[in-house]
Amino acid sequence: DGGITQSPKYLFRKEGQNVTLSCEQNLNHDAMYWYRQDPGQGLRLIYYSQIVNDFQKGDIAEGYSVSREKKESFPLTVTSAQKNPTAFYLCASSTDQRAEQYFGPGTRLTVT
Amino acid sequence: QKEVEQDPGPLSVPEGAIVSLNCTYSNSAFQYFMWYRQYSRKGPELLMYTYSSGNKEDGRFTAQVDKSSKYISLFIRDSQPSDSATYLCATLKIKAAGNKLTFGGGTRVLVKP
């Protein structure tokens, strides 16, 4: 089955620790995205990548980092510099940036 | 002011009723319009995708875009309890530096049996 997988579904970390969220797709999509969703605020773009080895900051990139070494994978690292890391994180992909985006199931990160 | 505005709801309707959802946007540069459905604790699922003014129908769902008034709508006919979810509108702006998808905050819908 083609799709986007995110792991783990739930993640708990202590404040001050970096944590990496996984996103893998087997749709052969070129573009991949990371969003953050907070209650009542919709989705906000963190980072996006149009092709391998290239990525761009979104609206709220501070405190986050990404890599795109393979077409299928776009991991997101939430660093200790992110002031409010507790949120629902969603990964998406599309054939190119003009096309509709398809989302993974999300990872709920809780930092205490 | 947010670029895409959506009433957060909740919108409660009886089973079988028509659900009417709306979004307004402020930037006339937005060219593509989408509706996503999101169940609790799940990723959004694409429902409708359109790039022109007018209506687009897919089964029980109709998306309507009015670019002159910057207004987009989604209608769900013969609503079912399984339609209970949060509905997100989104707009896409094509830019040389990289295209951007902007979401509304979502409207929570509850269809009561």
Mean pLDDT for A38-58 is 90
Q: How many Å from the N-terminal Cα to the C-terminal Cα in chain A?
A: 36
DSSP β-ladder status, A10-13 and B85-93? unpaired
**The pLDDT of residue A2:** 65
**The pLDDT of residue A41:** 75
**The pLDDT of residue B57:** 94
Strand spans (E) along chain B: 4-6, 11-14, 19-25, 32-38, 45-50, 54-58, 61-66, 71-76, 85-93, 100-103, 107-112
Beta-carbon separation of B88 and A106 below 8 A: no
**The pLDDT of residue B80:** 97
Contact A83, A63 (CB under 8 A): yes
**The pLDDT of residue B98:** 64
Calpha distance B32→B49 (Å, rounded)? 7
% of chain A surpassing 90 pLDDT = 78
Calpha distance B30→B93 (Å, rounded)? 5
Mean pLDDT for A88-110 is 89
pLDDT band at A87 (very low <50, low <70, confident <90, very high): very high
For residue A40, what are the contacts with CB-CB under 8 A and spacing of at least 6? B8, B105, B106
Whether residue A1 is predicted with pLDDT greater than 60 in this model: the reply is no
Task: Tell me the two tokens of residue B61.
Answer: 């769902």
User: Which residue in chain A is spatially nearest to B37 when comparing CA positions?
Assistant: A103
Task: Tell me the two tokens of residue A89.
Answer: 């994180």
Which residue, among A44, A54, A97, A109, would best test binding to B if mutated, counting the most B CBs under 10 Å from its CB? A97
A-chain residues near B42 (CB < 8 A): 105-106
Q: Which of B1, B2, B9, B6 minimizes the C-alpha distance to B111?
A: B9
A10 interfaces chain B, CB cutoff of 8 Å: no
**The pLDDT of residue B8:** 87
User: Average pLDDT for consecutive 10-residue bins of chain B (113 residues)?
Assistant: 87 97 89 92 91 90 93 96 96 73 92 96
Q: Which of B2, B62, B94, B57 minimizes the C-alpha distance to A97?
A: B94
**The pLDDT of residue B110:** 97
A-chain residues near B43 (CB < 8 A): 4, 6, 90, 92, 103-106
A107 min Cα distance to partner chain B (Å): 9
Measured from the Cβ of residue B64, the count of other Cβ atoms closer than 10 Å reads 19
Mean pLDDT for A99-111 is 91
Calpha distance A102→A15 (Å, rounded)? 31
**The pLDDT of residue A32:** 94
Nearest to B105 among A40, A56, A102 (CB): A40
Contact B36, B47 (CB under 8 A): yes
Mean pLDDT for A50-78 is 95
A-chain residues near B8 (CB < 8 A): 40
Whether residue A56 is predicted with pLDDT greater than 80 in this model: the reply is yes
Contact B89, B104 (CB under 8 A): yes
B-chain residues near A36 (CB < 8 A): none
Instruction: Name the average pLDDT for chain A.
Output: 92
Nearest to B43 among A42, A45, A104 (CB): A104
For residue A1, what are the contacts with CB-CB under 8 A and spacing of at least 6? none
